[in-house]
A and B are shown apart, each in its own frame.
Chain A
Amino acid sequence: DSGVTQTPKHLITATGQRVTLRCSPRSGDLSVYWYQQSLDQGLQFLIQYYNGEERAKGNILERFSAQQFPDLHSELNLSSLELGDSALYFCASSVTPSLSYEQYFGPGTRLTVT
């Protein structure tokens, strides 16, 4: 168990809908990362937060947004969902924003868009 929790575990929704994925980092970790894992694109970095502030952004779609709250949990919001958004979404955390530190991954949220 990495100490990172993600809810829900599974999510099935229809095209055009909006969903929110939630992540609680490991105790003491201030940095949160969001990744998308799909069969065709592999593991892609979406966005990083550190202590409530956006730190780095990957190739994240404009339909996607995220935030990190004062209690350090993070939410990833996906809107106007398309079939191609079906994927496994991982949250990871680390103690600092530096990429020299290992990241601890949650179990993921499997999103299915029908």
Chain B
Amino acid sequence: AQSVAQPEDQVNVAEGNPLTVKCTYSVSGNPYLFWYVQYPNRGLQFLLKYITGDNLVKGSYGFEAEFNKSQTSFHLKKPSALVSDSALYFCAVRAFRDSNYQLIWGAGTKLIIKP
């Protein structure tokens, strides 16, 4: 079955330290992969995507993600965390489900950055 997993419900990082939010996927064919962020009482905001090309993708707010085909992963990273990065992060992948292509979403990872 096609799926996407975010193995950590919550990630705690001290301000200034590097952060990683993990995402693994299982889809047939070439994956389209996305990261979105959700702040409290707000809709989701696009951060970055991998469709094709360079495995290291740079996105908004200093975030980047690395596509690893052999490990079927697309982990989100940032070299130096800010308190304002605290939010809920979602990984999504294009999958064939219910007879059409759609985005399927991970359960989300709550990122807490402590001052």
Decide: A58 near B97, CB < 8 A? Known: A42-B105, A99-B32, A99-B103. Answer: yes
Q: Enumerate chain A residues within 8 angstroms of B32, measured Cβ to Cβ.
A: 99-100
Asked whether, in the complex, the Cβ of B43 is within 8 Å of the Cβ of A90, the reply is: yes
Contact of B102 among A2, A4, A45, A102 (CB under 8 A): A45
Asked whether, in the complex, the Cβ of B108 is within 8 Å of the Cβ of A102, the reply is: no
Contact of A99 among B36, B43, B102, B108 (CB under 8 A): B102
Asked whether, in the complex, the Cβ of A58 is within 8 Å of the Cβ of B98, the reply is: yes
Q: Give the secondary structure class of B's interface.
A: strand
Q: Which of B32, B44, B100 has the most CB of A within 10 A?
A: B44
CA distance A37 to B102 in the complex (A): 16
Decide: A103 near B102, CB < 8 A? Known: A42-B107, A42-B108, A58-B97. Answer: no
B90 interface residue, CB < 8 Å from A? yes
A-B pair count, CB < 8 Å, reads 58
Smallest CB gap from A104: residue in B: B46
In whole Å, how far is B39's beta carbon from the nearest beta carbon of chain A? 11
Asked whether, in the complex, the Cβ of A2 is within 8 Å of the Cβ of B45, the reply is: yes
Interface string of A81-114 (1 = CB under 8 A from B): 0000000001010000001101111111000000
- Give residues 18-75 of A contacting B (CB, 8 Å): 42-45, 48, 55-59
CA distance A43 to B36 in the complex (A): 12
Asked whether, in the complex, the Cβ of B43 is within 8 Å of the Cβ of A100, the reply is: no
Asked whether, in the complex, the Cβ of A4 is within 8 Å of the Cβ of B98, the reply is: no
Interface string of B48-87 (1 = CB under 8 A from A): 0101000000000000000000000000000000000000
CA distance A108 to B44 in the complex (A): 9
B94 interface residue, CB < 8 Å from A? yes
Q: Enumerate chain B residues within 8 angstroms of A45, measured Cβ to Cβ.
A: 102-105
Asked whether, in the complex, the Cβ of A43 is within 8 Å of the Cβ of B45, the reply is: no
Decide: A48 near B102, CB < 8 A? Known: A42-B108, A58-B97, A100-B51. Answer: yes
15 A–B contact pairs at CB < 8 A? A2-B43, A42-B105, A42-B106, A43-B108, A56-B98, A56-B101, A57-B100, A58-B98, A59-B98, A92-B44, A99-B101, A99-B102, A103-B46, A103-B103, A105-B43
